Amino acid sequence: MISVRNFTVSLVTALLISSAAHAATVANRDGRDHKVTIIEGDAQNYHVVKPNAVLEGICQKGCLIRLDDSEEDPYELKGSEVTSIEEGQLYDDELEAPDVPGVGYAGPPSQPGSHP
């Protein structure tokens, strides 16, 4: 039989893991600090992200992000993105190259006069 305490600890652990899995991450790959403003509804939070540091567990339900008090349109995150700051811009690190048939290694080049 599972005790109430063990059940509670397991439930809290599962909820924390679940929350972290749906939160956004911002890694600073620049050589300087960046001020990151996170806007969730009416609330704004400010963070200074040092070079090579990672800001984790943000935007669990989506948010807007501004870098260095920029007046340009903010970046919109849905809450599960893995992003990085590079050259003062925010990039989505989850983008993958599309699968394109026929792209890649095609074997050694053919020799003159030979036919496949």
Mean pLDDT by 10 residues, the chain (116 residues): 46 39 88 95 94 94 93 89 93 65 53 56
Show the CA angle centred on residue 38, arms to residues 32 and 40, nearest 5°: 175
Whether 11 maps to a domain, the answer reads no
Which range marks the domain in which residue 32 is found?
24-92
Count CB atoms within 10 A of the CB of residue 78.
Answer: 11
**pLDDT for residue 85:** 95
Whether 18 maps to a domain, the answer reads no
Whether 28 maps to a domain, the answer reads yes
Which positions ≥6 away from 43 have C-beta within 8 Å?
A: none
> Considering its fold, how many domains does the chain have in total?
1
Whether 64 maps to a domain, the answer reads yes
**pLDDT for residue 72:** 87
**pLDDT for residue 69:** 92
Alpha-carbon distance of 110 to 90, in angstroms, equals 44
Whether 100 maps to a domain, the answer reads no
**pLDDT for residue 8:** 40
Whether 105 maps to a domain, the answer reads no
**pLDDT for residue 15:** 38
Query: H-helix or E-strand containing 85?
Result: strand 82-86
pTM of the model: 0.62
Per the structure block, which two tokens stand in for 100? Answer: 């394109």
